[in-house]
Amino acid sequence: MRFVENPVGKKIAMSVTGFLLLAFLFIHLIGNSTIYLGPDGINTYAKGLHSLPPVVWTFRIVMLIIFALHIYFGIKVTLENRQAKPNGYAISKNINSTLSSRTMIWTGLIVLAFVVYHLLHFTLQVTQPHFITSKNLDYLGRPDVFKMIVLSFQRIGITLIYAIGLLSLMLHLTHGIQSLMQTVGLNNERFMPKFRLFGLIIAVFLLVAYLSIPTVVLTGVLKA
Summarize as ranges the residues that interact with ligand HEM (CB under 6 A).
28, 32, 46, 49, 60, 111, 115, 118-119, 122-123, 145, 149, 162, 166, 169, 210, 213-214
Residue among 55 and 197 whose Cβ is closer to ligand HEM: 55
Task: In angstroms, give the least distance from the CB of 177 to ligand HEM.
Answer: 14
Nearer to ligand HEM, 121 or 196 (CB): 121
Q: Rounded CA gap, 89 and 209, in Å?
A: 36
Which residue's CB comes closest to ligand HEM? 122
Q: Which residues contact 194 (CB under 8 A, 6 or more apart)?
A: none
CB of 156 to ligand HEM, least distance (A): 15
Closest CA to 145 of 90, 71, 213: 213
Q: Which of 128, 136, 133 is nearest to 154 (CA)?
A: 128
166 or 180, CB closer to ligand HEM?
166
Closest approach of ligand HEM to the CB of residue 119, in Å: 6
CB of 141 or CB of 185, closer to ligand HEM: 141
Least distance (Å) from ligand HEM to the CB of residue 145? 5
Question: In 10 A of CB 53, how many CB atoms?
Answer: 8
**Any idea what DSSP says for residue 84?**
H
Q: Would you say 9 or 136 has its CB closer to ligand HEM?
A: 136
Supply the Cα-derived Rg of the chain in whole angstroms: 20
Give me the phi and psi of 128, to 5 degrees please: -135, 75
**143: three-class secondary structure by DSSP:** strand
Q: Which is nearer to ligand HEM, 54 or 185 (CB)?
A: 54
Q: How far is the CB of 139 from ligand HEM (least distance, A)?
A: 19
Q: How many helices (H) and strands (E) does the chain have?
A: 10, 0
Give residues with Cβ within 8 angstroms of 191, minimum separation 6: none
Query: Least CB distance from residue 211 to ligand HEM, whole Å?
Result: 7
